[in-house]
């Protein structure tokens, strides 16, 4: 049976963050980087997103709750899920990069949001449903 310890999870997070930074560095060196934003981006509170790259085929989603170290609240998870849905339908997008703003990728679940609930309510609620959306995406995600 495979178990993820907190050390293994931290190492995986560092690896993914390094890969995301590499993709962003490569994209930044491309001569014709013109970002394309969805018209609905103005309605988003917790994430920013754009399509970039020489072929304009790399979607970059940035978790944008810097004061909370990008803690994963219900609103952020819902916006992330909706944005992934849109990019998955976009035939021009070949890959997706998810990154964090400022100091952190993501601090984890928003404990303040979970505080009034029991353990069972947290586990059985829909909170994790939106996060599994990342795993179900049919396009490569870094």
- What would the pLDDT profile of 25-80 be if each residue is shown by its tens digit? 665 655 443 444 444 555 899 999 999 999 999 999 999 999 999 999 889 999 99
pLDDT tens digits along 104-130: 999 888 888 888 888 777 777 666 667
pLDDT tens digits along 79-94: 999 999 999 999 999 9
What backbone phi and psi angles, to 5 degrees, belong to 102? 50, -115
Select from 94, 104, 98 the least CA-distant residue to 134: 98
Strands 47-52 and 58-63: antiparallel
The domain defined by 6-136 folds into 2-enoyl-CoA Hydratase; Chain A, domain 1 (3.90.226)
Select from 18, 51, 49, 19 the least CA-distant residue to 32: 51
**Averaged pLDDT, 1-13:** 66
pLDDT at 92: 95
């Amino acid at each position: 049976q495979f178990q993820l310890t907190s050390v293994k999870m931290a190492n995986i997070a560092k690896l993914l963050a390094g890969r995301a930074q590499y993709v962003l560095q490569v994209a930044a060196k491309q001569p014709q980087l013109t970002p394309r934003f969805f018209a609905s981006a103005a309605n988003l509170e917790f994430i920013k997103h754009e399509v970039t790259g020489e072929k304009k085929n790399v979607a970059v989603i940035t978790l944008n709750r810097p004061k909370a170290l990008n803690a994963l609240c219900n609103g952020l998870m819902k916006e992330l899920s909706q944005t992934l849905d849109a990019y998955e339908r976009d035939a021009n997008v070949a890959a997706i990069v998810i990154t964090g703003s400022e100091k952190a990728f993501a601090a984890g679940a928003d404990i303040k949001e979970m505080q009034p609930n029991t353990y069972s309510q947290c586990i059985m609620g829909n909170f994790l449903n939106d996060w599994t959306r990342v795993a179900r995406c049919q396009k490569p995600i870094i």
